[in-house]
Each structure stands twice: as C-alpha cells, then as structure tokens.
A and B are shown apart, each in its own frame.
Chain A
Amino acid sequence: AQKVTQAQTEISVVEKEDVTLDCVYETRDTTYYLFWYKQPPSGELVFLIRRNSFDEQNEISGRYSWNFQKSTSSFNFTITASQVVDSAVYFCALNYGGSQGNLIFGKGTKLSVKP
C-alpha cells in the first residue's frame, strides 16, 4: 500500500531556530515522486518542491533544504533560521508510477513560529 506518515502533528519554535519536519513514505513502486506543500491559514496549498525517486540529491533553496534518503524512505524538510511567516501546515505527498495521477498526502505538520 502507498502511504505517507508525518509523525509530528504540531511543532512550536521561536523565531531564528532551525526546525526539521519529518516525512516517511511507503510504496512498492520503484518510480515515484515526492512533494512538499505549504498551507497557510488562507487554505491554499503552495508547492515547495518535487523530488524523483531516482534523484537522491539533496536540495537547498534559500532557508529551505530537503534531505531525501531512499534507504530509510524519508524525505525530510528543514527550515533554517525560521521566521514568523513560516507558520503554516506543511504536507508531504507521494505520487507513484502506477497511480491514477493522484497525490497521497500525509496528515500534515502544523508549524508555529513565535517571535
């Protein structure tokens, strides 16, 4: 079965702290795609990153970085020097080669960054 687990329901940090959001996925497919989305209180899901299963290169974009490890089926997301504007719910999602094209989401991690 295909599944995404985000074990951290809520995380609270103080501004400028680093924070890592965990994502563990399950799939039998060898070809799959992993995504992170941000959902601010307004509700719209904002795309952050896509990673292919055959590309284990880590990625950094400004204060954001992603660590993809196939050996542990994890795709973790780190925010460096967090800011209040980072407060949102973050979702990890999976799409796989045999799917109908739909994303499988985790339950999300609510990040609160306090000033």
Chain B
Amino acid sequence: DAGVTQSPTHLIKTRGQHVTLRCSPISGHKSVSWYQQVLGQGPQFIFQYYEKEERGRGNFPDRFSARQFPNYSSELNVNALLLGDSALYLCASSPSRYPRETQYFGPGTRLLVL
C-alpha cells in the first residue's frame, strides 16, 4: 500500500509570496495533520483535519490555513511568507483523530524562503 505522499518535495519562494503544499493520506485514513520542522528542532503541530473539519490548531499565525477535501487529501496554505517560514513541512495521516492512533508521516516538503 502507498504511504503518505506530499508535493512538491522542494520549493523556493521569496518573502511576501504565497505557497500551497499538498498531502495525500494513506488509503482508508481520514485524519490528516500538518507539522512544521525547523532545522535542529522537533516537529511542531500546525493543524489537524478530520472528516473535512478542523479538529485542532497549534500556535501558528492566521497566515497559515488548511483544508481537507472529500477524498481526505489536504492542502496547507501559507500567505505573506517570512524568512522564518523556511522549514520542512510534514504531513501525517491516521485512521481517526484520536490520540491513541499512530500518525504516519510523509516525506515532507522543504520550503526555503529567500
């Protein structure tokens, strides 16, 4: 079975631009979570979506938004990019939204903001 897929793998943007990252969960998984990982740190939670509704949000500004589609894939949008948004963005999927579920991660999208 295919794992979590993310696109694109790498992205270079300039300050002030907008970016859209995409994620397809493991087949049968209905929950998608987004994490930001800056160099040398552990991933930080951004959003969780389940059944197309936002179920959780981390401590990130409103420039960050996301949505989930009927096929459970998801997009993460970041507006007005800052240099500090440069990071690895990880998507994870799980069967449901419950904490007991294991989250399986995709390969990530490396975003560089110049």
Residues of chain A having any CB pair with chain B under 8 Å: 4, 32-33, 35, 37, 42-47, 50, 52, 91, 93, 95-97, 99-108
Contacts and interface: CB of A to CB of B under 8 A. Distances in A.
A105 B57 CA distance: 16
Given A44-B107, A45-B105, A99 B99 contact: yes
A60 B57 CA distance: 35
Contacts of B41: 107-108
Interface string B96-109: 01111111111110
Given A101-B55, A102-B56, A42 B107 contact: yes
B74 interface: no
Given A43-B107, A96-B99, A101-B48, A91 B57 contact: no
A13 B44 CA distance: 29
A104 to B, nearest CB: 8
Interface residues of B, number: 31
Contact of B58 (A44, A95, A102, A108): A102
B108 A44 contact: yes
Nearest to A108: B42
Contacts of A93: 42
Contacts of B104: 47
B88 A43 contact: yes
6 contacts: A42-B107, A43-B108, A44-B106, A52-B100, A101-B56, A107-B40
Given A46-B105, A93-B42, 6 more contacts: A43-B110, A100-B48, A101-B97, A102-B48, A103-B103, A104-B45
A87 to B, nearest CB: 17
Interface in B70-97: 88, 90, 92, 97
A46 B107 CA distance: 9
A105 B99 contact: no
